[in-house]
């Protein structure tokens, strides 16, 4: 299982990006909401959308969950 987070600061389009812990684009600690450990990005996305309905997977570390 991998650790995931969601960026509290939205992108210009309003998306809050979900990242896997080893991602090069993991946000600064103060910008992170910990999503815990998940077997895949889909599970992490469901958790992120509970807090930020407009969440999207990072295209680098969560490509299967990246939509825009």
How far is the C-alpha of 61 from the C-alpha of 19, rounded, in Å?
Answer: 6
Average pLDDT of the chain is 94
Q: Report the predicted TM-score, pTM, of the whole model to 2 decimal places.
A: 0.92
Nearest partner of 32 among 48, 56, 46, 43, judged by Cα: 48
**Which letter, b or e, does each residue of 23-45 get, where b requires 16 or more Cβ atoms within 10 Å of its Cβ?**
beebbeeeeebebeebeebebbb
Average pLDDT over residues 46-50: 97
Please write the tens of the pLDDT for every residue from 51-61: 999 999 999 99
- Domain count for the chain: 1
Categorize the per-residue pLDDT at 64 as very low, low, confident or very high, splitting at 50, 70 and 90.
very high
Question: Mind listing the pLDDT tens digit for each residue in 11-40?
Answer: 999 999 999 999 998 888 889 999 999 999
Which token pair is 48? Answer: 């992120």
Q: How many CA atoms lie within 13 A of 22 on its CB side?
A: 3
pLDDT at 1 over 80: yes
């Amino acid at each position: 299982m991998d650790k995931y987070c969601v960026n509290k600061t939205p992108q210009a389009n309003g998306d809050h990006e979900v990242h896997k812990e080893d991602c090069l684009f993991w946000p600064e600690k103060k910008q992170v909401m910990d999503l815990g450990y998940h077997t895949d990005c889909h599970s992490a996305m469901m958790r992120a959308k509970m807090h930020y309905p407009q969440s999207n997977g990072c295209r680098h570390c969560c490509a299967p969950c990246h939509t825009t």
